[in-house]
Amino acid sequence: MKPIVNLGIFVADTAYRADRMPKMGETILGRTFALGPGGKGSNQSVASAMAQTGTGGKTHFITRLGQDDFAAIARSTWAKAGVHPEVTEDAESYTGAAFIFLEEATGNNAIIVSPGAAARIAPEDLDAKAELIQGAAIFMTQLEQPIPSARRGLEIAKAAGVTTILNPAPAAALDDAMLALCDFVTPNESEAETLTGLPVTSVAEAERAADALLARGVGAVIITLGGNGALYRDRGRSVHVPVISAGRVVETTGAGDAFNGGFAVALSEGRDVVDAVRFGCATAGISVTRPGTAPSMPSRPEIDALLARL
């Protein structure tokens, strides 16, 4: 079974839950604090590895870490989930960290990421892992590490006929040449708006934004719509997949990463793309019922059980 190879960053999440965000210069009391593993690439790798439980599939994660206590959190997280680390240790920098504000009443979030060593991931790091990437079923990346490195990974994968997924987060302007390297692009509403300049507040608007991305050379578009599920659109079909609920929403921070990790697994197993979107939605639907990011990712039996009830 060919592996999933993910490029991205790990950060230690420092999560603060409070009634509201403080104003500039203001101090308020928080409700809770938690320290745990995060970073979109790491979270998505954990989601994929967990969703491969018992299938024989493997997920490899290419990144950089410092030599510090936060790096130990990363390695422990990956070992527990079954992620295969492809790590360059960088003694001249630090392992990344993230500030996460969680609104008590809604579970909505605001995030500041400082990537540390992962900000020094270079195209040469991808060249060093070219053989691994070329042998993958899926190559997936995001935009938390430098964009030239993401581009190089996509180039290597595309040239080898490997299916490529770009989760364009955090939102950034991308040129058409980079978008043309992507078999699938998976923005949320705000990321889709950044890429296209079009508002995305409904399924109809998501379809228009998806068409704009298709016109720029993307193979297919999946726009995640929060509580409204996800839209899949390519040049031949358009399908709105409703949200798949697994219970009361506790925290949405890891939902997008759960979706992408689950979607990549289903694609790697040869499922129809719309079925893969549903699998991703189920993965995300379970994750939001739990606190945290990587710790919220469900196992394969949990995902299969939820889908079996539909």
Which residues are catalytic, by number? 257
Render the burial of 237-269: b for 16+ CB within 10 Å, e for the rest: eeebbebbebeebebbbbbbbbbbbbbbbbbbb
Looking up tokens 């710790």 gives 295
Residue 3 burial (C-beta neighbours within 10 Å; 0-12, 13-18, 19+) = buried
Quick check: helix, strand or coil at residue 149? helix
Within 8 A by CB and 6+ apart from 166, the residues are: 140, 141, 142, 150, 154, 178, 179, 181, 182, 184, 185, 186
CB 18 within 8 A of CB 104: yes
Residue 31, helix vs strand vs coil: coil
- Do β-strands 184-185 and 238-241 pair in parallel, antiparallel, or remain unpaired? unpaired
State how far the Cα of 82 lies from the Cα of 65, in Å rounded to an integer: 18
Q: In one letter, which amino acid is 34?
A: A
Contact 188, 148 (CB under 8 A): no
Cα separations (Å) of 159 from 43, 181, 182, 186?
Answer: 26, 9, 11, 21
Among residues 10, 5, 168, which one has the least CA distance to residue 88? 10
